[in-house]
Chains A and B, each alone.
Chain A
Amino acid sequence: GDSVTQMEGPVTLSEEAFLTINCTYTATGYPSLFWYVQYPGEGLQLLLKATKADDKGSNKGFEATYRKETTSFHLEKGSVQVSDSAVYFCALFQAGTALIFGKGTTLSVSS
């Protein structure tokens, strides 16, 4: 079945460092891809999405490009802030199915 694999954390960075969180997927069709973020004590929030190959989702300085050839949707940010500390989930969705999540990657940014 469909699945999402994302890099295990925790990822620990200093402020202003470059961030990459890898995400790859397995799907039989043409899924839509998402990144969700969960800040401490809060619910998951949609961070960005891409609905077809080569689409780039972006929000709050984060971006991810839907790469069908490598079945990847890596999350990147050029300069992280302490406030970016959270758990990040990669997910996919296909019509007729539910959201499928990766295990989540904890990001910790120190000043």
Chain B
Amino acid sequence: GAVVSQHPSWVICKSGTSVKIECRSLDFQATTMFWYRQFPKQSLMLMATSNEGSKATYEQGVEKDKFLINHASLTLSTLTVTSAHPEDSSFYICSASSGSSYNEQFFGPGTRLTVL
């Protein structure tokens, strides 16, 4: 099946710094990419949906100025956590879709962010 990678797989940073997470579709063109956040023992919560070349659509309650999403190409989307704080520590997962159908959504392995 289609492969989606994330980098880094885990990152530790100091409070107040910014962290960028990359999501790449390795063998297909992703017109839509999704960013999820998962807290321990919680379900995946959709943060935002991005279409290549367009501004991301954020879910209610997600601060767009804190979680900057860029989908500059059909194979790459980035999530930047700006001025990270300990409460931003979480597992961030991206997925990519080559179409509008839900069943074409392929998931990356996730990035563990720890903010000290």
Contacts and interface: CB of A to CB of B under 8 A. Distances in A.
B92 interface: no
A103 B43 CA distance: 4
Contacts of A36: 107
A89 B106 CA distance: 14
Interface of A is mostly: strand
Interface of A: 4, 32, 34, 36, 38, 41-46, 49, 89, 93, 98-104
30 contacts: A4-B43, A32-B102, A34-B103, A36-B107, A38-B107, A43-B4, A43-B106, A43-B107, A43-B108, A43-B110, A44-B95, A44-B107, A45-B1, A45-B107, A49-B103, A89-B44, A98-B34, A98-B46, A98-B49, A98-B59, A99-B34, A99-B44, A99-B46, A99-B105, A100-B43, A101-B43, A102-B43, A103-B43, A104-B41, A104-B43
B109 A42 contact: yes
Contacts, number: 44
B35 to A, nearest CB: 11
Interface residues of B, number: 20
A103 B105 CA distance: 19
Interface of B: 1, 4, 34, 41-44, 46, 49, 59, 93, 95, 102-103, 105-110
Contacts of A4: 43
Contacts of B110: 43
Contacts of A46: 103
Contacts of A49: 103
B43 A43 contact: no
A33 B39 CA distance: 22
A43 B46 contact: no
Contacts of B105: 99
B22 to A, nearest CB: 14
Contacts of A99: 34, 44, 46, 102, 105
Contacts of A38: 107
Given A49-B103, A89-B43, A103-B41, A43 B109 contact: yes
